[in-house]
Amino acid sequence: MEKTLIDPQLNAAADGVYQITVAPPIDGFADFISAWVVTGTPSFLVDVGPGSTADQLLRGLEILGVSHLDYLLLTHIHLDHAGAAGAISRRFPEARVVCHAKGIPHLIDPTQLWEGSRNVLGPVAEGYGPLEPIPAERFIAAQELRSGSLTALLTPGHAVHHVSYLSDRGLFAGEACGVCYPVGKGRQYLRPATPPRFFLDIAVASVDALLKQAPSRMMLGHYGMVEDGLELLKRHREQLHFWEKWLARMAGRHSVAERLEACAQGLLAEDPCLADFNAFSETAQRRERYFLKNSINGFLGWIQNSG
């Protein structure tokens, strides 16, 4: 049977900066994952989405008339950000692939990354799809990136291999400030992205590193562009400390089996940054509950191990 290609959503976010939204075959994920393409010199793509959406991303680049890329910049190697890197790098053989040095071996041989992702994410990983290996000579470690208009900032709060990228077009922050989703005029849903193993001190230090850049325009993996990145980073820093204090009070109140659900319900009721949860569709709410509990789990692990 011939495969039907789904055209991606395209959005001209700023001069020469385009958001390409890809949709993996998972209910509730249609408006969740962003790749960003920047034209000019240098030209680059920030994150590439899952392997299952590689054709969508390539179609978006074709529609935009992108025939050359200098860099593929990966904020981290999770499947929803780097899964299509092999397919995209084959299409753009001139592009150097940039990611944290710790991530490179897992993209050269993605066997362990794929199996680990399947064990942790289950059906979500299957929906994202597997990764293609990338030849070692294609890589530049983010720590060694030297480009006049591009700077790699190590921001290991979400994952030890997380990198943000600062350019003259704005700050590409990946998941360094969690998930920030527009839900209406001037309103945002903001959720920490703090899966196990999580370290609050490293996450706050990562946010502080971005605050020092005083960003205005900031592009996010999940989801979209914000014009006041400084304000968003300050809100997220406050939210991280709110979660720490709130979850510490819940540590012994429920059985392990009940704790995640009780914490999710409580934070949805009391964290003002989550107040617009009901603006999501039913399927997107299921997605968010899944990731909310994963983030809570990371925080609870931190509290238990640091107490």
Q: Please, what are the averages of pLDDT over each run of 10 residues along the chain (307 residues)? A: 62 88 95 94 96 97 96 98 98 98 98 95 95 97 92 95 95 95 88 94 96 92 93 96 93 73 95 95 96 95 84
pLDDT for the residue 252: 67
End-to-end C-alpha distance for the chain, whole angstroms: 56
Amino acid at 284: A
Task: Count the Cβ atoms, other than its own, within 10 Å of residue 173.
Answer: 32
pLDDT for the residue 6: 65
pLDDT for the residue 2: 40
pLDDT for the residue 214: 85
pLDDT for the residue 306: 80
Task: Count the Cβ atoms, other than its own, within 10 Å of residue 194.
Answer: 26
pLDDT for the residue 162: 97
Bridging pattern class, strands 150-154 and 139-141 = unpaired
CATH code for residues 9-234: 3.60.15.10
pLDDT for the residue 304: 87
Place of tokens 């190697």: 77
pTM > 0.85: yes or no: yes
Domain ranges in the chain?
A: 9-234
List the structure tokens of 110: 């993605």
pLDDT for the residue 185: 78
pLDDT for the residue 228: 92
pLDDT for the residue 208: 96
Nearest-10 crossing angle of helices 256-270, 229-249: 140
